[in-house]
Amino acid sequence: MTDTITIRRPDDWHVHLRDGAMLEAVAPFTAKQFGRAIIMPNLSPPVTSAASAAAYRDRIMAALPAGSGFTPLMTCYLTDDADADDIAAGHAAGIFTAAKLYPANATTNSAHGVTDVAHIMPVLERMQEIGMPLLVHGEVTDSDIDIFDREAVFIERVMKTLIGALPDLKVVFEHITTEQAVRFVDSCGPNVAATITPHHLHINRNAMFAGGIRPHAYCLPVAKREIHRLALRKAATSGSPKYFLGTDSAPHEIHAKESACGCAGIFNAPYALESYAAVFDEEGALDRLEGFASEHGPNFYGLSLNEDKVTLARSSAVIPENLAVADATLVPFHAGSELNWRIL
């Protein structure tokens, strides 16, 4: 049995670092584990211009512990009136790594999102031209579509048309949760990839209702049936370059989660790599962790691989019930349960 594993330092291709006091509280966790991360732009107000992304990047850098080598990779929040010239200029200037498509009202701070992809076709055409990746929150928002079907319906109604119209656009199907998404991504060319979160690899939808309502297991896209979790595990551990690490760590203060209308989001940053390692270990695929965590992402984005290394050791520890960081109390993913890997 392998008891330690050393891999290139991983990157997180999807994370919410927030702003202000919450940014100060959570940025050190991500910076400790990862070399780089794709920073989600769903602040309030959202990051829609190169100028606001550059300012946000400065605030992130200021929140990092002294001596941190972490690099935030910024994204542009697409709206119906997104400006192709500003986005292309921001990409050329090295401010924007990618742009994010939130269907309007799909999730936290997405009210300014895109109401119809047709409205942003000129922007997407420009992105295809300049090789700038589009990151997609893949859920329809129609109230007549069951919440557990929103991703599968999005594939049929939006993704297929989008990829058909822009066959060379680099697309990351973010935080996929269904076997339909795995089938779709597998069926596309190498310009279509997906991120997979640790929580969607660990839990199925029953986790939200285990003995009572469990707000800390609630995120969007919501966890699905067990068959879907198994399809995600298979995809993540397959060795396919189309799948890579994206935690979707999304902190909300404990009172905002434990509420009559609790926020969507799982805060997994503190033990993210350990959480993925447990999955790869359970699947007998530890030799594929490095590809998923540290190689497939940079290769897709056309970035260099990290040179430094991280070592994980098999060692069981109980994850704390909550973390008091700065003024916030946050409940981490796996709170109160054991994880069998730790970072040395």
Decide if residue 36 touches ligand DOR (CB under 6 A): no
Q: How far is the CB of 137 from Zn ion (least distance, A)?
A: 7
- Of the residues 24, 139, 248, 274, which one makes contact with Zn ion according to CB under 5 A: 248
Which residue, 286 or 331, is less far from ligand DOR as judged by CB?
A: 331
Token duo for residue 188? 């596309």
Which residue's CB comes closest to Zn ion? 248
Decide if residue 322 touches ligand DOR (CB under 6 A): no
Q: In b/e form, how buried is each residue of 7-26, taking b as 16+ CB within 10 angstroms?
A: bbbbbbbbbbbbeeebbbbb
- Of the residues 264, 305, 335, 343, which one makes contact with ligand DOR according to CB under 6 A: 264
Q: How many residues does the chain have?
A: 344
How many CB atoms neighbour CB 186 within 10 A? 14
How many CB atoms neighbour CB 335 within 10 A? 17
Q: How far is the CB of 18 from ligand DOR (least distance, A)?
A: 8
**Partner whose binding site includes residue 265, from Zn ion, ligand DOR, none (CB under 5 to 8 Å by kind):** ligand DOR
Which residue, 107 or 195, is less far from ligand DOR as judged by CB?
A: 107
Decide if residue 87 touches ligand DOR (CB under 6 A): no
Element (H, E) at 88: helix 84-92
| Contact (Cβ atoms closer than 8 angstroms) between residue 254 and residue 330 | yes
Q: How far is the CB of 342 from Zn ion (least distance, A)?
A: 26
Which residue, 108 or 299, is less far from ligand DOR as judged by CB?
A: 108
Question: Under rule CB under 5 A, which residues in 217-246 are in contact with Zn ion?
Answer: none
Decide if residue 16 touches ligand DOR (CB under 6 A): yes
| Contact (Cβ atoms closer than 8 angstroms) between residue 246 and residue 300 | no
Q: How distant, in Å, are the alpha carbons of 38, 95, 111 from that of 328? A: 23, 30, 25
Decide if residue 272 touches ligand DOR (CB under 6 A): no
Decide if residue 137 touches ligand DOR (CB under 6 A): yes
Which residue, 48 or 240, is less far from ligand DOR as judged by CB?
A: 48
Question: Under rule CB under 6 A, which residues in 88-117 are in contact with ligand DOR?
Answer: 107-108
Q: How far apart are CA 318 and CA 312, in angstroms?
A: 16
Q: How far apart are CA 208 and CA 338, in angstroms?
A: 19
Q: How far is the CB of 190 from Zn ion (least distance, A)?
A: 24
Decide if residue 219 touches ligand DOR (CB under 6 A): yes
12 catalytically annotated: no
Of the residues 11, 12, 248, 281, only one is catalytic, namely: 248
Q: How far is the CB of 211 from Zn ion (least distance, A)?
A: 27
Q: Where are the alpha helices (DSSP H) in the chain?
A: 20-33, 50-63, 84-92, 121-130, 150-154, 160-165, 179-187, 198-202, 226-236, 254-257, 272-282, 289-290, 296-301
Contacts with ligand DOR by CB under 6 A: the residue count is 10
Say which amino acid occupies 125: E
CA 201 to chain centre: 13
| Contact (Cβ atoms closer than 8 angstroms) between residue 221 and residue 192 | no
Sheet holding 338-343: strands in order across? Answer: 4-8, 309-318, 338-343
Q: How far is the CB of 3 from Zn ion (least distance, A)?
A: 33
Residue 196's DSSP bridge partners are 245
Token duo for residue 119? 């409205």
Decide if residue 42 touches ligand DOR (CB under 6 A): yes
- Residues found near Zn ion in the complex (CB under 5 A): 248
Catalytic residue set: 248
- Residues found near ligand DOR in the complex (CB under 6 A): 16, 42, 107-108, 137, 219-220, 250, 264-265
